[in-house]
Protein backbone atom coordinates (compact mmCIF):
# COMPACT_ATOMS: atom_id res chain seq x y z
CA UNK A 1 0.00 0.00 0.00
CA UNK A 2 1.49 3.43 -0.90
CA UNK A 3 2.45 5.54 2.11
CA UNK A 4 0.27 8.49 3.03
CA UNK A 5 1.56 11.89 1.90
CA UNK A 6 2.98 13.73 4.88
CA UNK A 7 2.41 17.42 5.37
CA UNK A 8 6.07 18.15 6.05
CA UNK A 9 9.43 16.40 6.14
CA UNK A 10 11.94 18.26 8.30
CA UNK A 11 15.51 17.31 7.41
CA UNK A 12 17.87 17.95 10.32
CA UNK A 13 17.10 17.86 14.05
CA UNK A 14 19.32 20.61 15.39
CA UNK A 15 17.80 23.67 17.11
CA UNK A 16 16.33 24.82 13.76
CA UNK A 17 14.61 21.57 12.75
CA UNK A 18 13.43 20.70 16.27
CA UNK A 19 11.93 24.12 16.81
CA UNK A 20 10.11 23.95 13.47
CA UNK A 21 8.78 20.48 14.34
CA UNK A 22 7.32 21.80 17.60
CA UNK A 23 5.41 24.62 15.93
CA UNK A 24 4.23 22.35 13.08
CA UNK A 25 3.22 19.63 15.55
CA UNK A 26 1.18 22.12 17.52
CA UNK A 27 -0.42 23.24 14.23
CA UNK A 28 -1.77 19.66 13.87
CA UNK A 29 0.49 18.82 10.91
CA UNK A 30 1.79 15.34 10.11
CA UNK A 31 5.52 15.79 10.38
CA UNK A 32 8.47 13.46 9.89
CA UNK A 33 11.81 14.67 11.26
CA UNK A 34 14.88 12.92 9.79
CA UNK A 35 18.31 13.30 11.32
CA UNK A 36 21.59 11.46 10.84
CA UNK A 37 23.06 12.63 14.17
CA UNK A 38 26.00 14.77 13.01
CA UNK A 39 25.34 18.09 14.80
CA UNK A 40 27.69 21.02 14.21
CA UNK A 41 28.14 21.30 17.96
CA UNK A 42 29.63 17.76 18.30
CA UNK A 43 32.70 19.14 20.13
CA UNK A 44 30.89 21.72 22.23
CA UNK A 45 30.68 21.27 26.01
CA UNK A 46 27.95 23.88 26.59
CA UNK A 47 25.39 25.93 24.70
CA UNK A 48 25.76 29.55 25.81
CA UNK A 49 23.47 32.47 25.14
CA UNK A 50 20.22 30.51 24.81
CA UNK A 51 17.84 32.22 27.22
CA UNK A 52 16.70 29.79 30.00
CA UNK A 53 19.27 27.19 28.75
CA UNK A 54 22.56 29.12 29.16
CA UNK A 55 25.38 26.59 29.72
CA UNK A 56 23.37 23.43 29.02
CA UNK A 57 25.17 20.49 27.34
CA UNK A 58 24.19 20.24 23.65
CA UNK A 59 23.21 16.58 24.12
CA UNK A 60 20.89 17.53 26.99
CA UNK A 61 19.41 20.36 24.92
CA UNK A 62 18.50 17.91 22.15
CA UNK A 63 17.15 15.36 24.67
CA UNK A 64 14.79 17.95 26.21
CA UNK A 65 13.62 19.04 22.76
CA UNK A 66 12.93 15.44 21.71
CA UNK A 67 11.07 14.78 24.96
CA UNK A 68 8.86 17.80 24.37
CA UNK A 69 8.18 16.67 20.80
CA UNK A 70 7.24 13.17 21.96
CA UNK A 71 4.00 14.67 23.37
CA UNK A 72 2.84 15.26 19.79
CA UNK A 73 1.77 11.94 18.24
CA UNK A 74 1.67 13.63 14.81
CA UNK A 75 5.44 14.33 14.91
CA UNK A 76 7.66 11.32 14.17
CA UNK A 77 11.44 11.26 14.52
CA UNK A 78 13.75 8.97 12.55
CA UNK A 79 17.51 8.56 12.85
CA UNK A 80 18.28 8.32 9.18
CA UNK A 81 20.17 10.12 6.45
CA UNK A 82 18.16 11.77 3.70
CA UNK A 83 20.01 10.83 0.55
CA UNK A 84 17.84 12.63 -2.00
CA UNK A 85 14.91 15.01 -2.27
CA UNK A 86 13.06 15.74 -5.51
CA UNK A 87 9.91 17.46 -6.64
CA UNK A 88 7.48 15.20 -8.46
CA UNK A 89 4.84 15.86 -11.08
CA UNK A 90 1.92 16.50 -8.71
CA UNK A 91 3.90 19.26 -6.95
CA UNK A 92 4.73 17.17 -3.89
CA UNK A 93 8.19 15.93 -2.89
CA UNK A 94 9.75 12.50 -2.78
CA UNK A 95 12.30 12.12 0.00
CA UNK A 96 14.72 9.19 -0.12
CA UNK A 97 15.78 7.71 3.23
CA UNK A 98 18.22 5.10 1.98
CA UNK A 99 16.02 2.45 0.30
CA UNK A 100 12.78 3.92 1.68
CA UNK A 101 10.81 6.74 0.02
CA UNK A 102 8.31 9.10 1.62
CA UNK A 103 6.10 11.75 0.05
CA UNK A 104 5.39 15.18 1.51
CA UNK A 105 3.80 18.47 0.57
CA UNK A 106 6.52 20.77 1.99
CA UNK A 107 10.17 20.27 2.87
CA UNK A 108 12.17 22.08 5.51
CA UNK A 109 15.92 21.73 5.08
CA UNK A 110 17.69 22.43 8.37
CA UNK A 111 20.85 20.42 7.77
CA UNK A 112 23.27 23.05 9.10
CA UNK A 113 26.96 23.41 8.40
CA UNK A 114 30.19 21.80 9.58
CA UNK A 115 33.36 23.66 10.57
CA UNK A 116 36.73 23.05 8.98
CA UNK A 117 39.41 23.14 11.64
CA UNK A 118 42.61 25.02 10.79
CA UNK A 119 45.45 22.70 9.78
CA UNK A 120 47.44 22.89 13.00
CA UNK A 121 48.95 19.78 14.56
CA UNK A 122 47.02 18.63 17.63
CA UNK A 123 44.16 21.14 17.32
CA UNK A 124 41.45 18.44 17.76
CA UNK A 125 42.57 17.90 21.37
CA UNK A 126 41.59 21.47 22.24
CA UNK A 127 38.51 21.98 20.04
CA UNK A 128 35.43 22.79 22.10
CA UNK A 129 37.42 23.30 25.34
CA UNK A 130 39.85 26.12 24.53
CA UNK A 131 39.75 26.32 20.74
CA UNK A 132 36.53 27.81 19.37
CA UNK A 133 35.15 29.58 16.33
CA UNK A 134 32.56 31.90 17.89
CA UNK A 135 33.33 34.53 20.55
CA UNK A 136 29.58 35.05 21.15
CA UNK A 137 29.39 31.37 22.14
CA UNK A 138 32.59 31.00 24.17
CA UNK A 139 34.18 34.46 24.60
CA UNK A 140 32.76 35.15 28.09
CA UNK A 141 34.64 32.21 29.62
CA UNK A 142 38.00 33.68 28.50
CA UNK A 143 37.22 37.37 28.93
CA UNK A 144 40.28 39.44 29.86
CA UNK A 145 42.62 36.50 29.18
CA UNK A 146 45.41 36.21 26.57
CA UNK A 147 43.67 34.97 23.43
CA UNK A 148 44.90 34.07 19.94
CA UNK A 149 42.92 34.69 16.80
CA UNK A 150 43.69 32.41 13.85
CA UNK A 151 42.69 34.06 10.58
CA UNK A 152 44.08 35.00 7.19
CA UNK A 153 43.44 37.57 4.46
CA UNK A 154 40.48 39.92 4.60
CA UNK A 155 38.82 38.25 7.56
CA UNK A 156 41.92 38.56 9.79
CA UNK A 157 41.34 42.16 10.90
CA UNK A 158 37.60 41.56 11.17
CA UNK A 159 38.01 38.56 13.49
CA UNK A 160 40.67 40.30 15.64
CA UNK A 161 38.43 43.39 15.89
CA UNK A 162 35.44 41.25 16.91
CA UNK A 163 37.49 39.72 19.74
CA UNK A 164 38.25 43.14 21.29
CA UNK A 165 34.84 43.08 23.05
CA UNK A 166 36.08 40.21 25.25
CA UNK A 167 39.79 40.93 25.85
CA UNK A 168 42.50 43.49 25.15
CA UNK A 169 45.23 40.82 25.06
CA UNK A 170 44.90 39.56 21.49
CA UNK A 171 47.52 37.98 19.22
CA UNK A 172 46.54 37.53 15.58
CA UNK A 173 48.23 34.40 14.15
CA UNK A 174 48.23 34.06 10.37
CA UNK A 175 50.30 30.84 10.16
CA UNK A 176 52.68 32.07 7.45
CA UNK A 177 50.25 34.29 5.57
CA UNK A 178 51.24 37.99 5.18
CA UNK A 179 49.02 40.97 5.99
CA UNK A 180 48.98 44.30 4.16
CA UNK A 181 50.81 47.30 5.59
CA UNK A 182 47.48 49.07 6.14
CA UNK A 183 46.12 46.14 8.13
CA UNK A 184 49.32 45.87 10.18
CA UNK A 185 49.08 49.55 11.07
CA UNK A 186 45.41 49.26 12.11
CA UNK A 187 46.21 46.25 14.28
CA UNK A 188 49.23 47.92 15.92
CA UNK A 189 47.16 51.03 16.74
CA UNK A 190 44.66 48.74 18.48
CA UNK A 191 47.42 46.99 20.48
CA UNK A 192 46.83 43.71 18.67
CA UNK A 193 49.99 41.62 18.41
CA UNK A 194 50.61 40.01 15.01
CA UNK A 195 52.41 36.65 14.56
CA UNK A 196 52.85 35.87 10.87
CA UNK A 197 55.28 32.98 11.33
CA UNK A 198 54.10 29.38 10.69
CA UNK A 199 52.67 27.50 13.69
CA UNK A 200 54.30 24.18 14.66
CA UNK A 201 51.71 23.00 17.18
CA UNK A 202 49.47 23.86 20.12
CA UNK A 203 50.67 22.99 23.62
CA UNK A 204 48.59 22.29 26.72
CA UNK A 205 47.00 19.53 28.78
CA UNK A 206 43.49 18.15 29.28
CA UNK A 207 42.13 20.18 26.37
CA UNK A 208 43.36 23.44 27.97
CA UNK A 209 45.54 25.49 25.65
CA UNK A 210 48.69 26.86 27.29
CA UNK A 211 50.84 28.09 24.39
CA UNK A 212 51.19 28.35 20.66
CA UNK A 213 54.57 27.04 19.48
CA UNK A 214 55.96 28.39 16.22
CA UNK A 215 58.30 26.85 13.62
CA UNK A 216 60.97 29.46 14.45
CA UNK A 217 61.20 28.08 18.00
CA UNK A 218 59.27 30.90 19.67
CA UNK A 219 56.32 30.25 21.98
CA UNK A 220 53.33 32.43 22.86
CA UNK A 221 51.37 31.75 26.07
CA UNK A 222 47.60 31.79 25.31
CA UNK A 223 44.50 30.62 27.16
CA UNK A 224 42.32 30.17 24.07
CA UNK A 225 42.32 30.34 20.30
CA UNK A 226 39.43 31.52 18.13
CA UNK A 227 39.62 30.60 14.46
CA UNK A 228 37.97 31.94 11.39
CA UNK A 229 37.94 29.33 8.65
CA UNK A 230 35.20 28.46 6.20
CA UNK A 231 32.40 26.14 7.14
CA UNK A 232 30.53 24.09 4.55
CA UNK A 233 26.96 22.90 4.19
CA UNK A 234 26.27 19.46 5.70
CA UNK A 235 24.12 18.48 2.73
CA UNK A 236 23.56 19.51 -0.90
CA UNK A 237 19.82 18.75 -0.71
CA UNK A 238 18.75 22.39 -1.13
CA UNK A 239 21.04 22.91 -4.14
CA UNK A 240 19.81 19.68 -5.73
CA UNK A 241 16.22 20.92 -5.43
CA UNK A 242 17.20 24.12 -7.28
CA UNK A 243 17.61 26.55 -4.36
CA UNK A 244 19.90 29.51 -4.96
CA UNK A 245 22.71 30.89 -2.79
CA UNK A 246 22.86 34.22 -0.94
CA UNK A 247 25.91 36.54 -0.81
CA UNK A 248 27.25 34.75 2.27
CA UNK A 249 27.24 31.35 0.50
CA UNK A 250 24.17 30.20 2.44
CA UNK A 251 20.83 29.19 0.96
CA UNK A 252 18.83 32.22 -0.16
CA UNK A 253 15.42 32.67 1.40
CA UNK A 254 12.82 35.34 1.78
CA UNK A 255 9.80 35.84 4.03
CA UNK A 256 9.22 32.98 6.47
CA UNK A 257 12.45 31.29 5.21
CA UNK A 258 10.81 30.29 1.88
CA UNK A 259 13.43 29.56 -0.79
CA UNK A 260 13.19 30.30 -4.51
CA UNK A 261 11.72 26.80 -4.98
CA UNK A 262 8.00 26.68 -4.06
CA UNK A 263 7.41 24.32 -1.16
CA UNK A 264 11.05 24.29 0.01
CA UNK A 265 11.97 26.15 3.19
CA UNK A 266 15.30 26.47 5.03
CA UNK A 267 16.25 27.34 8.61
CA UNK A 268 19.32 27.49 10.81
CA UNK A 269 23.00 27.70 9.95
CA UNK A 270 22.33 26.63 6.34
CA UNK A 271 21.21 30.24 5.75
CA UNK A 272 24.60 31.46 7.06
CA UNK A 273 23.23 34.45 8.95
CA UNK A 274 23.78 34.86 12.71
CA UNK A 275 25.00 31.38 13.68
CA UNK A 276 23.64 31.07 17.22
CA UNK A 277 21.38 28.24 18.37
CA UNK A 278 18.65 30.61 19.51
CA UNK A 279 18.62 32.26 16.08
CA UNK A 280 18.51 28.83 14.39
CA UNK A 281 15.54 27.92 16.61
CA UNK A 282 13.80 31.20 15.76
CA UNK A 283 14.36 30.64 12.04
CA UNK A 284 12.90 27.16 12.45
CA UNK A 285 9.81 28.59 14.13
CA UNK A 286 9.43 31.20 11.40
CA UNK A 287 9.78 28.59 8.65
CA UNK A 288 7.14 26.47 10.41
CA UNK A 289 4.83 29.46 10.46
CA UNK A 290 5.37 29.96 6.69
CA UNK A 291 4.85 26.27 5.93
CA UNK A 292 1.64 25.99 7.95
CA UNK A 293 0.28 29.19 6.46
CA UNK A 294 1.01 27.95 2.97
CA UNK A 295 -0.63 24.54 3.61
CA UNK A 296 -3.75 26.16 5.09
CA UNK A 297 -4.06 28.57 2.19
CA UNK A 298 -3.67 25.81 -0.40
CA UNK A 299 -6.36 23.67 1.23
CA UNK A 300 -8.72 26.58 1.76
CA UNK A 301 -8.40 27.71 -1.87
CA UNK A 302 -8.81 24.18 -3.19
CA UNK A 303 -11.97 23.68 -1.16
CA UNK A 304 -13.25 27.12 -2.21
CA UNK A 305 -12.97 26.22 -5.89
CA UNK A 306 -14.26 22.68 -5.35
CA UNK A 307 -11.11 21.11 -6.81
CA UNK A 308 -9.78 17.69 -5.74
CA UNK A 309 -6.97 17.59 -3.23
CA UNK A 310 -3.67 16.22 -4.46
CA UNK A 311 -2.53 15.12 -1.04
CA UNK A 312 -3.82 14.56 2.46
CA UNK A 313 -3.34 17.31 4.97
CA UNK A 314 -3.76 17.32 8.72
CA UNK A 315 -3.67 14.69 11.39
CA UNK A 316 -5.35 11.33 10.82
CA UNK A 317 -3.89 9.11 13.52
CA UNK A 318 -5.25 10.90 16.59
Ligand X SMILES: Cc1cc2nc3c(=O)[nH]c(=O)nc-3n(C[C@H](O)[C@H](O)[C@H](O)COP(=O)(O)OP(=O)(O)OC[C@H]3O[C@@H](n4cnc5c(N)ncnc54)[C@H](O)[C@@H]3O)c2cc1C
What minimum distance in Å lies between the beta carbon of 131 and ligand X?
8
- Does 36 engage in binding with ligand X (CB under 6 A)? yes
Q: Which of 29, 40, 103, 106 binds ligand X (CB under 6 A)?
A: 40
- Does 202 engage in binding with ligand X (CB under 6 A)? no
Taking the least distance from each CB to ligand X, the nearer of 49 and 153 is 49
Q: Which residues fall within 8 angstroms of residue 111, CB to CB, at 6 or more apart?
A: 11, 12, 233, 234, 235, 237, 238, 270
- Does 93 engage in binding with ligand X (CB under 6 A)? no
Taking the least distance from each CB to ligand X, the nearer of 17 and 313 is 17
Taking the least distance from each CB to ligand X, the nearer of 137 and 223 is 137
- Does 234 engage in binding with ligand X (CB under 6 A)? yes
Q: Applying CB under 6 A, which part among 29-37, 87-95, 144-152, 193-201 lies near ligand X?
A: 29-37
Q: Which of 20, 104, 137, 258 binds ligand X (CB under 6 A)?
A: 137
- Does 13 engage in binding with ligand X (CB under 6 A)? yes
What minimum distance in Å lies between the beta carbon of 5 and ligand X?
20
Q: Applying CB under 6 A, which part among 202-210, 275-283, 295-303, 307-315 lies near ligand X?
A: 275-283
Q: How many residues bind to ligand X according to rule CB under 6 A?
A: 40
- Does 268 engage in binding with ligand X (CB under 6 A)? yes
- Does 43 engage in binding with ligand X (CB under 6 A)? yes
Query: How buried is residue 231: exposed, middle or buried, by Cβ count under 10 Å (0-12/13-18/19+)?
Result: middle
Q: Applying CB under 6 A, which part among 23-31, 88-96, 111-119, 297-305 lies near ligand X?
A: 111-119
- Does 250 engage in binding with ligand X (CB under 6 A)? no
Q: Which of 35, 228, 257, 298 binds ligand X (CB under 6 A)?
A: 35
Q: Which of 10, 23, 47, 209 binds ligand X (CB under 6 A)?
A: 47
The 10 Å CB-count burial string (b at 16+, else e) for 273-289 is: eebbbbbbbbbbbbbbb
- Does 275 engage in binding with ligand X (CB under 6 A)? yes
Rounded Cα gap, residues 159 and 227, in angstroms: 8
Q: Which x/- pattern over 139-168 shows residues binding ligand X (rule: CB under 6 A)? A: ------------------------------
Q: Which of 25, 50, 264, 298 binds ligand X (CB under 6 A)?
A: 50
Q: What is the DSSP string of the chain?
A: -PPPPEEEEEE--SHHHHHHHHHHHHTT--EEEEE-S--GGGG-S-B-S-TT-TTB-HHHHHHHHHHHHTT-TTEEEEE----EEEE-TTS-EEEEETTEEEEEEEEEE---EEEPPPS-BTGGGTBTTTEES-HHHHSGGGTTS-EEEE--THHHHHHHHHHTTT-S-EEEE-TTPPPPHHHHHHHHHTT-EEE-SPEEEEEEETTEEEEEEETTS-EEE-SEEEE---EEES--HHHHTTPPB-TTSSB---GGGB-SSTTEEE-SGGG-SS--HHHHHHHHHHHHHHHHHHHHHHHHHHHHHTPPPSS--S----
Q: Which of 9, 29, 32, 44 binds ligand X (CB under 6 A)?
A: 44
* Residues in touch with ligand X (CB under 6 A): 11-17, 34-41, 43-44, 47-50, 81-82, 110-112, 115, 128, 132, 134, 137, 234-235, 268-269, 275-278, 280
Amino acid sequence: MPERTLDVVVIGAGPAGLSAALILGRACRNVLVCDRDTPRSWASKAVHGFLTRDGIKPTQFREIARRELSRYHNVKMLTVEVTRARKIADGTFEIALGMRRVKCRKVLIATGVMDRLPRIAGIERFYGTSVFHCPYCDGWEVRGKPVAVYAKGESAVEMARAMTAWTRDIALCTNGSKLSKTDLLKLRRNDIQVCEQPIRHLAGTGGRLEAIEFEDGSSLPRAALFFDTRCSGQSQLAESLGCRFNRRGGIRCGRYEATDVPGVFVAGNIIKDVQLSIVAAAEGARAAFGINRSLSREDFDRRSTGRRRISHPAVTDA
